[in-house]
């Protein structure tokens, strides 16, 4: 199976790139399943039902989120109805929506998508390591699912690396989101799980992690009052990773970064 996962979509620039390019990318690269992290798609803060539907129309199979999931209040009733939109699983019991889902790829193979948020330098949620154990209870890669993918939304690189090793051999891939900067540590762990600390973002890289430079710089210089942050709207770079899995075991045979358009050096698939 070939799976394409995009990092955090930021603002109009990121939305434009996903909606315009994804249909062609799916065909060009023979992609079977697509996950899009849309947590900053609405002007840099959250996601709306309309934007989520646009991503599904463009070819996303699942949309994940993160700590900005509730920034747009109209998403709350929508997330309870739309099983393809995930919020971090380790929100407390009773939180709207869901953090895991079972889906099918283009030829009917079952894919389990898990979405958890880290604890270091992030909002206080339930323990993601214990939560992962519970979510995977009685579920086996290769037997029950052709692929199991975790979007681990976190700030600390150490926490993401630890989660990767914690799940080595149990899931197809662990990919990090949230920091908006693509890392170069994509590799297959010893027991066959694909790993990358952060996918990067889909948006304008002539910015401060997707936001207009002036407002971000003012905040760091502690100018008062600090201006409201706004998403940069320039040329789009799409960032993510392509994961190829073994059809029998579900483990990763290859993980490669994906970059296209904008300022960053493009990858050659």
> What pTM was computed for the model?
0.97
- The per-residue pLDDT for 268 is 74
How many Å apart are CA 118 and CA 215, to the nearest integer? 27
Instruction: Let me know if domain 2-260 sits in CATH 3.40.50.150.
Output: no
* Torsion angle in degrees (nearest 10) through CA of 134, 31, 243, 55: -60
| Backbone φ and ψ of 195, nearest 5° | -145, 140
Q: Where exactly are the structural domains of the chain?
A: 2-260
Report the pLDDT averaged over residues 240-254: 98
How many Å apart are CA 240 and CA 234, to the nearest integer? 19
- pLDDT tier for residue 255 given thresholds of 50, 70 and 90: very high
Q: Is the pLDDT of residue 223 over 80?
A: no
Report the pLDDT averaged over residues 92-118: 97
CA separation, residue 32 to residues 84, 102, 228 (Å): 16, 15, 40
Structural contact between residues 201 and 18, judged by C-beta atoms closer than 8 angstroms: no
Active site residues: 68
- The per-residue pLDDT for 269 is 61
The pLDDT mean for the chain works out to 96
Task: Give the strands of the sheet with 238-245, arranged side by side.
Answer: 62-64, 33-37, 2-6, 238-245, 252-260
How many Å apart are CA 32 and CA 2, to the nearest integer? 5
- The per-residue pLDDT for 106 is 85
Please report, in angstroms and rounded to a whole number, the separation of the first and last CA atoms in the chain: 16
């Amino acid at each position: 199976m070939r799976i394409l996962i995009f990092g955090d979509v930021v603002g109009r620039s990121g939305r434009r790139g996903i909606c315009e390019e994804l249909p062609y990318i799916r065909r060009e690269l023979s992609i079977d399943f697509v996950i899009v992290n849309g947590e900053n798609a609405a002007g840099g803060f959250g996601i709306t039902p309309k934007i989520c539907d646009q991503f599904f129309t463009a070819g996303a199979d699942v949309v994940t989120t993160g700590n900005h999931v509730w920034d747009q209040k109209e998403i709350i009733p929508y997330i309870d109805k739309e099983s393809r939109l995930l919020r971090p699983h380790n929100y407390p019991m009773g939180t709207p929506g869901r953090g895991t889902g079972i889906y099918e790829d283009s030829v009917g193979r079952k894919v389990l998508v898990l979405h958890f948020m880290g604890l270091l330098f992030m909002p206080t949620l339930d323990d993601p390591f214990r939560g992962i154990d519970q979510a995977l209870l009685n579920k086996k890669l290769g037997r029950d699912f052709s692929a199991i993918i975790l979007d681990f939304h976190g700030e600390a690189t150490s926490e993401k690396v630890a989660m990767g090793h914690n799940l080595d051999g149990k899931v197809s891939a662990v990919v990090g989101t949230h920091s908006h900067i693509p890392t170069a540590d994509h590799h297959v762990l010893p027991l066959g799980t694909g790993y990358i600390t952060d996918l990067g973002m889909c948006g304008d890289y002539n910015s401060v992690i997707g936001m207009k430079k002036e407002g971000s710089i003012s905040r760091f210089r502690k100018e008062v009052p600090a201006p409201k942050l706004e998403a940069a709207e320039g040329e789009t770079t799409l960032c993510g990773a392509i994961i190829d899995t073994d059809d029998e075991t579900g483990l990763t045979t290859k993980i490669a970064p994906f970059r296209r358009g904008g300022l960053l050096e493009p990858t050659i698939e």
